Amino acid sequence: MSKATQAAVSKKNPFWLPKNRYYELKYFCLQFWDWQKRRAQLDGLATRENREPTEIEAIEKAELDEKIRKVMTCAKLAAHQYDEWLLKGVTKGLSYDAMAARKVLPISRDAYYVLYRKFFWLLDASRK
């Protein structure tokens, strides 16, 4: 779906967000897999005897865990049994059509985008 043909979400929609806030949250989610990779790289043990690097790694690990948890929790709250599909869509930047081309999705396009907007609305509330 091109941006020129995308329907604008009405301000009357309960999950409406300002355009720039939506893009901020969207790009936040697109970092999800980078956080996962970085999290796996942190072992919590510093190579030096000084505790400071270990503490820095522990703090970074906790921050990454919090971001990952926030995205996953909002997907679960928004989509319940469809959270797996929603999580793929928001973290990989995949549209409904792109996912449907690969696999049969268990929900309709309209239902998916309601959950999609609800996810970003919940994420917005959790990041304030």
Give tens-digit pLDDT for 61-97: 999 999 999 999 999 999 999 999 999 999 999 999 9
pLDDT-derived band at 46, boundaries 50, 70, 90: low
pTM above 0.85, yes or no: no
Question: Alpha helices, DSSP H only, in the chain?
Answer: 19-29, 32-41, 52-79, 83-92, 96-102, 109-126
Higher per-residue pLDDT: 5 or 90: 90
pLDDT-derived band at 23, boundaries 50, 70, 90: very high
Average pLDDT, the chain: 87
Tokens of 21: 């806030």
Share of the chain above pLDDT 90, in %: 68
